[in-house]
Structure 1
Amino acid sequence: MLITTTYHDVPSTLNPHARPVRIFVIQPSIPDYPQAKFPGWHCSFEIYQVTGPVERFAGQIASQGYVVALPSSFHEFEGPQPIPYDTEGTNRGNKYKIEKEVVAYDEDATLSIDLLCSLKNCTGRIAATGMCLGGHLVSCRAAAFDPRILSSVCFFATDIHSATLGRGSHDDTLIRVKDGDLKGKGELVMIFGKQDTHVPRAGRDLIRSTLEDADVTISFLEVQAQHAFIRDESSKGRWDAALTRSLFSFMLEVFERTVGRDLGTRVATRGDVAHVC
């Protein structure tokens, strides 16, 4: 399926006088079917904003029949251009990561999902994917706070176990999980590499046990890989194309099952009802 890429500059409600959030939209292009509608897919990625590897990964998703929205992570500090995968770029991204307010991260996700729901070619059934920083934002924050997200698949999510996201390096993500904010929400899949030095075994165990103790609907996968194993550029020798392909297929199964088809109203089996836009 052919795709097109556009963008929308969306004002922040937290700081309306600041630079708007640039949200890139990658979507299927079927000129002979102008009324076609597709599920939405909110994506949040690394500290480097929307880079080539991110756009290629999102393009593969869109070509499967999804409207994909990718907000730029650090619009408070600089423009939407990709941050280089070098030492200076990494230092810059890591600096922004702990200078940005956690509530501003949450707003970016809300604006991205709002945009998807406003598009005429989106069904309003929303899935989400995140990697690294974005894995944290999608898996345990956007999925917890926005009931429009029906399922999430997240890769090597960082800073959850250490609670060090955002200004002051002190986020409340696991506290919110323990308080039940993810219970009864959409299906969650978390994928980590066993050789990931950013999220060691103790950290993975903490994340898994906290989610399971909170009765979250989750699949937790640990694979033989390092951090950033999906990134096909400047991955420092960590890119595993075969494993990426396998997990991409796994991710598609989850989303085709949960958002790819409109099954009607979900029966409330645990006192919850799925939400759509």
Structure 2
Amino acid sequence: MAVSRRDVQTVDGLMDVDLHAPDGGAPAPVVIMYPDAYGVRETVQRMAGRLAAAGYLVALPNMFYRAGADAAAPEKIDFADPEQRARLGRVVSQATPQRVMADTGALLDALADEPGALPGPVGTIGYCVGGRMAFTAATAHPDRVAAAASIHGGGLASDDPSSPYLAADRIRAALYIAIATGDAHHTDADHARLVAALDEAKVDYEAEILPARHGFALVDFPVYDEAAAERHWEKSLALFARTLRPAA
């Protein structure tokens, strides 16, 4: 697999994006991978590589580029470290859904001119705050996103007026939503609101609550759960295969 870097012009500056291309050189369906709040790092690069190996051109944007050096992940992730938590607060506050969706529009425009990108709608996948962005992309760019996978995403159906479930009627994509058990970022009440909104909008979706903690898919998180992580890979790859692959 080949990895290359692109700088995408946005209204706020240049967003660096890593492209992971599958072997073979032929144009491939595009999947945008949104990282968690710790940002683009080796763990997420390996995940993008795994998705690329399955036959996709994976765009991994640094959606926290506005935060500059604050966006760099620490050597060891520790949820209880007050300095890390303060840094995360600064980083995430600058990457609002509105800003990230504007960045996503610029990225989609850039990818339309990418030789390795198969023309047509794309897929999205994201983790934690990135899971919210992957879901939100299906509401913000309904004609350009054909599949979205939200993995232990937070704020999908909260009381926040920007919560993306409120725009469920805009979704044209198929969705896979993997929720952690007892997740404070996606409560039982949130889940009930989410499912009700998706059902009312007649969205093609699958939502499941996995017996794992928030952050289970990320191998450098202390809560990493291999069984739940592999489950999300199985379901996400199946989603992309049925929505992004051209009919034979």
- TM (norm. structure 1) is 0.80
Does the residue aligned with 2:139 lie in a helix, a strand or coil? Answer: helix
d(CA) in 2 for partners of 1:67, 1:54: 15
Find out whether 1:90 has 2:85 as its counterpart: yes
Give the total of aligned pairs.
Answer: 241
Does the residue aligned with 2:112 lie in a helix, a strand or coil? Answer: helix
- Which position in structure 1 is the counterpart of 2:128? 132
* Greater Rg over alpha carbons, structure: 1
Q: Deviations over 1:134-162 (max 9, x none)?
A: 111111x2111211111111111112232
The alpha-carbon deviation at position 81 of structure 1 amounts to: 5.8
d(CA) in 2 for partners of 1:163, 1:134: 18
d(CA) in 1 for partners of 2:88, 2:204: 32
- The answer to whether the 8 A contact 1:163-1:173 is kept is no
Equivalent runs, 1:134-153 vs 2, <5 Å: 134-139=130-135, 141-146=136-141, 147-153=143-149
Say which of 218, 235, 241 aligns to 1:256.
Answer: 241
The alpha-carbon deviation at position 203 of structure 1 amounts to: 1.7
- The answer to whether the 8 A contact 2:157-2:163 is kept is no
Equivalent runs, 1:1-277 vs 2, <5 Å: 3-12=1-10, 14-15=11-12, 18=13, 20-30=14-24, 34=25, 36-79=26-69, 82-84=72-74, 85-86=77-78, 87=81, 88-125=83-120, 126-139=122-135, 141-146=136-141, 147-164=143-160, 170-177=161-168, 180-182=169-171, 185-233=172-220, 235-236=221-222, 238-262=223-247
The alpha-carbon deviation at position 91 of structure 1 amounts to: 2.3
Give the AA of the match of 2:126: G
Most deviating of 211-220 and 110-119 = 110-119
- TM (norm. structure 2) is 0.89
- The answer to whether the 8 A contact 1:152-1:187 is kept is yes
Q: Deviations over 1:99-155 (max 9, x none)?
A: 44432111122223223322112112411111111111111x211121111111111
Does the residue aligned with 1:160 lie in a helix, a strand or coil? Answer: coil
Percent identity, aligned pairs only?
21
Ranges of 4+ aligned residues in structure 1 off by more than 4 Å: none
- The answer to whether the 8 A contact 1:71-1:108 is kept is no
Give the AA of the match of 1:174: Y
Point out the structure with the larger helix share: 2
- The answer to whether the 8 A contact 1:7-1:25 is kept is yes
The alpha-carbon deviation at position 262 of structure 1 amounts to: 4.0
Provide closer, same or farther for how the CA distance between residues 131 and 49 of structure 1 changes in structure 2, counting only shifts above 3 A.
same
- The answer to whether the 8 A contact 1:49-1:80 is kept is no
**For structure 2, which runs of at least 5 residues remain unmatched after alignment?**
none
Q: Deviations over 1:63-84 (max 9, x none)?
A: 1111000111211221596322
